[in-house]
Each structure stands twice: as structure tokens, then as C-alpha cells.
């Protein structure tokens, strides 16, 4: 008699659960907030310039100049530099005019990355109406590493490799190497260019000081799934350079009471310019609210191996390539009907992502991320496998392409505009851990976190962001937030987006 009540109990629940997909382990894993970035400091580049030769004081004297000669130039021809200087043969010029020509040549060099190059008037006697401009393009003398950190000298010198004595000093290769060195955990990098022993040369001294051995952060938000707890509290701790190889061991925990418990341990190490690492995470969840009568709960375990390689690294432009392999185990249980579903997914992912900072319209930041995944889903519960064969047919191999592009545009010191587009394409119906989620604080705010998701779809957002006067927070209003996961869903809603700037996430000291 008791067993006959199950259909009636499920029928009583059906009205409130209609058109809702039961949030499972894959859904919970998909909605986790990103791990806070490790704090990094940009390298400091100092230049101690030698005093340029001073030309004779003759500001009030004009001289007839029929020919302008350029010496010391290797990057550009003399004809190119004379054209840049704006010289016209047969002109009567003052010392200030000649110095202005030298300044134009210097500016041209520096605009093209030769940031220590200098054009100047050497001491000379003007004969036959010929004036000479000297060019010091700047080249490396000695390159010296002064390492006072736990980082190994071999790794630090390897990242600096490519800066050789006699090479021209340009910003791109120097900046790239210093940034790659600064990206390593537990170090602070300062570089100084001092006059070298040879004319036109500069010695590079790179100081690597120890940074914090242990770093961490605490974060909180109210953007969790309403069925497992909207208010989430997380903490991250990093142990930097334990093996002196630019490595870091990290531990991350996150919870929302009894509804969600998550932990992740990872370790990564530097191999030249590349980073490789391993990670393991575990998640437990328990559904509440209208799903509480089901007594639904479950878990997710993910083992990962990953690698990242910087293709371009600079202050303004960055481009990275990444590879990841995940082995995922999911379990969803409904105690009310004594049902259990186990499944495993093996997924390989290739990523390409980057950002670019520019001065357009007062300054802005553009980002993009493209991810191509290929995986296999293995439903291990016979009943679930049979049901899937009649409905979604998600079991087996699949492919997925996910793309995102954003633009943050400065309008004033306090006002900025943000636009973003996210899209996903799939080869078939996907597991919940791979679906595109449109609802929540970072999507269509008219829908709660965990609602409105699908295998394919898009999300477009346009926001106005205002820094709060006298506070460190930011008010953020959605002008447009629209998305479509196969079935159209759209909405718009103004709101306050609280970030770490209002002390919801604070870096540990």
C-alpha cells in the first residue's frame, strides 16, 4: 500500500516543478564562481640616463644649413631620419631649430619601442654649411640578475634569455620578459638601465626580491543557486614557491551552509614560459525550497591536468593558449523515490584567450575567450541510460564551442560602459555540466542563478557602471541583458553588483 503512494506524491509536486530542470551535480559545478586571481605586481623599469652632450649656446645665431648629416643610426636610414626631422636644404636655422629636429627623431624612435634612443647635436664646428646629428639608439651592455628570492636562478635566467649584449634596447622584448618573471608567485621584480661602459650602451640590472610566501583571499556573494543557497562564502590560500620552481600550491573552499560544500586543491609549476598543473575538486549539494520534499542531493569529483602558454605578453596586449583534460564523476540522488544516477565525463579542452588595452575614447579594455571541447559522457546507471536513449540522447561523444567577447569603455573617471556577448554551439544535447547558463548576476538578471540554460544559445549584455562617490563600491545598471537558450528568454533589470571593492572579497595580508 505504501509503494502506491509514490505516484501520488510525485503528482502533487509536479505543478511546482513543471518546466524546471532538477538542479544536479553538473549544474552546481557549472555555477561555481571563478577562483580569485593571485595578486601580481607589475615590474618596475627604471632608467638612469647619461647626460647628453651639450651643444654650444647660440640661440640667437642663425646659420645657413645646406646639408644635414646623421650618424650612428642602424634601425633607420639617414634619409628616413632627415625626412622625419623635417629638414629643408638651404634653410637658415637656429640652435633651437636644430634641437627641435633632434627631438622629432627621438620621439619617432621612442614611439616605435626604442625607449632609450636619443638624437642630439654633438659639439662640432659648422663648415661648408653642414650640420651633423648624432643618434644613440641604445643597446645592451651587460645583463645582470640579482636574485634575492626563493626562485631558482636557472628559471629566472631562462625567462630573461634573449636579451644579449649588443642587441638594441626595445620595449617589447624587455617588457615581455619582465612581465613573465613578475607573473611567477612569490617574487617582486625591479629592473634598472644604467649607462654602460661602451658609448651608447646601457647595462640592465634585474632585481628579484622575495614576495609573500603565503597569499590568500576571502570572498562572499549572494549569487548562488536559490535551491542550494544564494549566500556563498569562500576562501583561498596559496603557498608560493615551495620548490623554488615558480610553483604554487593552492587550496580553495566555498560553501553556502548545508546546501553547497566545495573544495579544490591544485598545484602548478613553471616550465620555461609555460605553466603546467594538476587539480582535484569535490562538491556536495543538497536541494531546498520546492525541491526539498524530494530529499535530492549529490556530488561531483573532478580531476584535472592543464597547461598554459603565453603567446603574447605585454602591458597592453596579451594572448594565451591553454589545454585542459578533466575526468569528472557525478552522482545525483533522490531519496524520496530511492533513485540514483551515476555518470562519468572525460573532456579535453583547447582555449585561446587574451585582452587588449587602448586609448580609444578615453581608454578601454577588450577581452575575448574561445574554448573548444571534445568529450565523452558515460551514463553508468541502467535506468538513466535507457531514459536518455528515449529522450535527450546525450550519452556518448560530443563537441562544444564556447566564445565570449567583452569591452569595458571609460566615459568619465566615474562612469564606464560595459558590453559583452557570449555564445555556445553544441554537436548534440549536453550534460548539465556543459550547458550555457543565462540566469544570474553575470547574465540576464531577470532570472535567478541556475535558471534559463540550454545546449546552445547566446547572451548579450550592455551595462552602465558608476563608481560610488566616497565609497569603493560600484553601482551597475543593466541597460540590455538578453539571451536565448534555444527557447527565447530575455529580460532586463537594474541592480547593484557588489564586488570586492565593497569588502565582499578582501585579500589576506
What pLDDT is recorded for position 497?
A: 38
Task: Compute the distance between CA of residue 242 and CA of residue 181 in angstroms, rounded to an integer.
Answer: 17
DSSP 439: B
Using DSSP bridges, classify how beta strands 187-195 and 44-47 pair: parallel, antiparallel or unpaired.
parallel
Best CA proximity match to 313, nearest among 190, 139, 182, 168 = 182
Q: Which of 10-19, 45-54, 102-111 has the lowest mean pLDDT?
A: 10-19
User: Is 180:160 a contact under the CB 8 Å cutoff?
Assistant: no
Pick the CATH number of 217-507 from 2.40.160.50, 3.40.50.2300, 3.40.920.10, 2.170.120.20: 2.40.160.50
**In whole angstroms, what is the distance from residue 347 CA to residue 382 CA?**
22
Q: Interhelix angle for 171-182 vs 153-160, to 10°? A: 150
Domain boundaries, the chain: 59-136, 217-507
DSSP result, 62-100: -EEESEEEEES-SSS-HHHHHHHHT--TTEEE-HHHHHH
Would you give the DSSP letter of residue 152?
-
Neighbouring C-beta atoms of residue 60, cutoff 10 Å: 8
Average pLDDT score over residue span 461-478: 68
Q: Per-residue confidence at 494, pLDDT binned at 50, 70, 90?
A: very low
C-alpha cell at 385: 541510460
- CATH number for the region 59-136 comes to 3.10.20.310
Look at residue 26 in the predicted model and tell me its pLDDT: 85
| Cell triple for 485 | 537558450
pLDDT tens digits for range 422-434: 999 999 999 989 9
Place of cell 647635436: 121
Q: What's the average model confidence in pLDDT over 137-159?
A: 94
pLDDT of residue 428: 93
**Long-range own/partner contacts, residues 489-492 (CB < 8 A, 24 or more apart):** 489/438, 489/444, 489/447, 489/452, 490/444, 490/446, 491/444, 491/445, 491/446, 491/447, 492/444, 492/445, 492/446
Supply the DSSP symbol for 366: E
Segment holding 218, helix H or strand E: strand 214-221
Quick one: 265 exposed, middle or buried, by C-beta within 10 A (0-12, 13-18, 19+)? middle
> Mean pLDDT, the chain, as a whole number?
84
pLDDT in tens, 57-108: 555 688 888 999 999 999 999 999 999 999 999 888 998 999 999 999 999 9
Compute CA distances 169 → 183, 248, 252, whole Å: 22, 32, 42
Question: Which value, in Å, is the radius of gyration of the alpha carbons in the chain?
Answer: 30
Confirm whether 59-136 and 217-507 share one CATH topology: no
Average pLDDT over residues 278-301: 93
Distances (CA, A) of 117 to 120, 140, 177: 10, 12, 20
**Integer angstrom CA distances of residue 53 from 69, 99, 135, 168, 330:** 17, 12, 12, 21, 73
Of 417, 490, 494, the closest CA to residue 458 belongs to 490
More confident residue, 503 or 368: 368
Contacts (Cβ under 8 Å, ≥6 apart) of 488: none
**Nearest C-alpha neighbor of 494 from the set 461, 457, 460, 467:** 461
Residue 17 confidence class, pLDDT cut points 50, 70, 90: very low
What the block records as the C-alpha cell of 190 is: 625591479
Asked if residue 228 lies in contact with residue 260, where contact means CB atoms within 8 angstroms, the answer is yes
Question: What pLDDT band is residue 40 in, cutting at 50, 70 and 90?
Answer: low
Decide if 62 contacts 336 (C-beta within 8 A): no
Note whether 337 and 7 are within 8 A (CB). no
Q: Which residue has the cell 541510460?
A: 385
- CA 380 from centre of chain: 37
First and final C-alpha spacing in the chain: 62
Q: What residues pair up with 369 in beta bridges, in sequence order?
A: 353, 404
Q: Which residue has the higher pLDDT, 340 or 327?
A: 327
Residue 49's pLDDT band (cuts 50, 70, 90) = low
What's 155's DSSP letter?
Answer: H
For the cut 70, the answer to whether the pLDDT of residue 462 exceeds it is yes
Residues 6 or more apart whose CB falls under 8 angstroms from that of 509 comprise: none
Any idea which residue has 596579451 for its cell? 318
Phi, psi angle pair for 379, to nearest 5°:
-80, 115
Amino acid at each position: 500500500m505504501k509503494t502506491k503512494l509514490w505516484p501520488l506524491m510525485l503528482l502533487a509536486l509536479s505543478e511546482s516543478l513543471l518546466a524546471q530542470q532538477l538542479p544536479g551535480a553538473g549544474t552546481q559545478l557549472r555555477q561555481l564562481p571563478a577562483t580569485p586571481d593571485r595578486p601580481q605586481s607589475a615590474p618596475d623599469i627604471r632608467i638612469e640616463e647619461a647626460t647628453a652632450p651639450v651643444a654650444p649656446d647660440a640661440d640667437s645665431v642663425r646659420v645657413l644649413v645646406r646639408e644635414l648629416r646623421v650618424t650612428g643610426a642602424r634601425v633607420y636610414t639617414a634619409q628616413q631620419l632627415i625626412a622625419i626631422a623635417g629638414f629643408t636644404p638651404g634653410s637658415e636655422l637656429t640652435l633651437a631649430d636644430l634641437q627641435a629636429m633632434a627631438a622629432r627623431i627621438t620621439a619617432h624612435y621612442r614611439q616605435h619601442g626604442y625607449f632609450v634612443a636619443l638624437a642630439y647635436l654633438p659639439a662640432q664646428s659648422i663648415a661648408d654649411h653642414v650640420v651633423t646629428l648624432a643618434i644613440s639608439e641604445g643597446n645592451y651592455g651587460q645583463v645582470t640578475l640579482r636574485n634575492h628570492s626563493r626562485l631558482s636562478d636557472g628559471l629566472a635566467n631562462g625567462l630573461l634569455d634573449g636579451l644579449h649584449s649588443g642587441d638594441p634596447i626595445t620595449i617589447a622584448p624587455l617588457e615581455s620578459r619582465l612581465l613573465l618573471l613578475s607573473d611567477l608567485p612569490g617574487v617582486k621584480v625591479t629592473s634598472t638601465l644604467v649607462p654602460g661602459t661602451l658609448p651608447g650602451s646601457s647595462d640592465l640590472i634585474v632585481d628579484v626580491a622575495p614576495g609573500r610566501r603565503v597569499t590568500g583571499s576571502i570572498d562572499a556573494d549572494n549569487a548562488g543557486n536559490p535551491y542550494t543557497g544564494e549566500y556563498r562564502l569562500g576562501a583561498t590560500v596559496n603557498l608560493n614557491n615551495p620548490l623554488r620552481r615558480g610553483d604554487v600550491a593552492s587550496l580553495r573552499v566555498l560553501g553556502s551552509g548545508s546546501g553547497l560544500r566545495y573544495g579544490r586543491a591544485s598545484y602548478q609549476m613553471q616550465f620555461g614560459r609555460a605553466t603546467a598543473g594538476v587539480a582535484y575538486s569535490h562538491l556536495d549539494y543538497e536541494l531546498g525550497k520546492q525541491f526539498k520534499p524530494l530529499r535530492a542531493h549529490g556530488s561531483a569529483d573532478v580531476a584535472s591536468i592543464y597547461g598554459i602558454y603565453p603567446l603574447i605578453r605585454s602591458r597592453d596586449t596579451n594572448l594565451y593558449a591553454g589545454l585542459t583534460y578533466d575526468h569528472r564523476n557525478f552522482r545525483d540522488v533522490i531519496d524520496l523515490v530511492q533513485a540514483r544516477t551515476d555518470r562519468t565525463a572525460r573532456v579535453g579542452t583547447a582555449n585561446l584567450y587574451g585582452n587588449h588595452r587602448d586609448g580609444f575614447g578615453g581608454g578601454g579594455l577588450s577581452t575575448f575567450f574561445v574554448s573548444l571541447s571534445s568529450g565523452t559522457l558515460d551514463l553508468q546507471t541502467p535506468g538513466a541510460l535507457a531514459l536518455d536513449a528515449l529522450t535527450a540522447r546525450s550519452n556518448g561523444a560530443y563537441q562544444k564551442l564556447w566564445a565570449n567577447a567583452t569591452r569595458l569603455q571609460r566615459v568619465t573617471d566615474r562612469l564606464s560602459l560595459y558590453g559583452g556577448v557570449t555564445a555556445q554551439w553544441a554537436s548534440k544535447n549536453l550534460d548539465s555540466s556543459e550547458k550555457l547558463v543565462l540566469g544570474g548576476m553575470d547574465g540576464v538578471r531577470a532570472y535567478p542563478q541556475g535558471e534559463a540554460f540550454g545546449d546552445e544559445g547566446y547572451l548579450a549584455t550592455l551595462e552602465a557602471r558608476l563608481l560610488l562617490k566616497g565609497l569603493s563600491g560600484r553601482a551597475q545598471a543593466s541597460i540590455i541583458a538578453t539571451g536565448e537558450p534555444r527557447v527565447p528568454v530575455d529580460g532586463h533589470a537594474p541592480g547593484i553588483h557588489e564586488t570586492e571593492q565593497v569588502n565582499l572579497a578582501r585579500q589576506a595580508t
